Chain A
Amino acid sequence: MFGLIVAFIAIIGLSAGGIAVVKEAPKAIPAISGAYEAVVNGTVPPALIVSAGNIFDAVEITGTHILKVCTPEARPAACDDTTLRKMAAAIKAGRPIRDGLEQFVADHPGKLGPKGAYDLLTQSISAIQQGIDAFNGAAS
């Protein structure tokens, strides 16, 4: 758990304008070059598409856990059917976007991907995350 706290402090450091809590970044990490230009031009580096796909899967895994917790008859009070069904719908809606982006990366090796689809995927991730947050907020 200590590591989590350290991680959050690091994130706060990043979001506060780059105050580097983590002082030593690995030297050998190549840059995702041209990311700034990619945003301006409406494209996204493939590494970020792959990362977003993995994040989508991560929130889907968490959603699966919540559904399992909420399935038995004697379930926690935090289980709200409306919220859970919205979360499930967001997962279903996000899958084809994820799949399409991954297929684009596979079909166009090394090319920048469409930011519009990437934005849709991150919106799906946020929608799923809202369901997870609602569950955890009610459970805490």
Chain B
Amino acid sequence: MTDNTSISSTTIARSILGVIEGLLPYALNAINSDTIGKIITVLQQIWPEIETEISDLATPVRNIIAALSGSAAATPDQLAALKALDQQTDAAFDAALADFNAAHPAA
């Protein structure tokens, strides 16, 4: 049986990630605070959907808002949050990949 709920969630996630990914070039080319401000405003607008529909993405998006809202220098807190997220994310992915490989051995 197809897990339609999961597919729906990944579709929403794709949409939101598309927005986030699309922001990077603008951030990189930003020459004034207005552009950065618009980027953050967009993220804040989609925040309710992120929080309710795909809570797993709430942490990275929150971190992005924090990083872009601060100064050019990343703070130790931001780095600590990112490293914690790295470990948690990697562990979850490794577990899912191990299950996938066990269920579907490479030919």
Interface residues of A, Cβ cutoff 8 Å to B: 1, 3-4, 6-8, 10-11, 14-15, 18, 20, 22, 24-27, 29-36, 38-39, 44-55, 57-76, 78, 81, 84-85, 88, 91, 95, 98-99, 102, 105-106, 109-110, 122, 125-126, 129, 132-133, 135-136, 139-140
Quote the shortest CB–CB distance from A16 to chain B (angstroms): 12
Quote the shortest CB–CB distance from A134 to chain B (angstroms): 11
Contact A132 B10 (CB under 8 A): yes
Cross-interface CB contact of A7 among B9, B42, B70, cutoff 8 Å: B42
Quote the shortest CB–CB distance from B50 to chain A (angstroms): 9
A44 to B61, CA, bound (A): 20
A104 to B102, CA, bound (A): 36
> What is the interface of chain A mostly: helix, strand, loop, or mixed?
helix
Map CB proximity to A onto B6-48 as digits: 1 under 8 Å, 0 otherwise: 1101111111111111111011111111111111111001111
Interface residues of B, Cβ cutoff 8 Å to A: 1-3, 6-7, 9-24, 26-42, 45-49, 56-57, 60-61, 63-64, 67-74, 76, 78-79, 82-83, 85-86, 89-90, 92-93, 96-97, 99-100, 103-104, 106
Q: Which residues of B have CB within 8 Å of A57?
A: 60, 82, 85-86, 89
Given contacts A22-B38, A54-B64, are A47 and B28 in contact (CB under 8 A)? no
Cross-interface CB contact of B30 among A8, A32, A46, A91, cutoff 8 Å: A32
Contact A74 B29 (CB under 8 A): no
Q: Apart from A35-B29, A54-B64, what are 14 other A-B pairs with CB-CB below 8 Å?
A: A6-B45, A29-B40, A30-B33, A54-B85, A55-B21, A58-B60, A62-B17, A65-B9, A69-B6, A73-B103, A85-B106, A102-B79, A125-B21, A129-B17
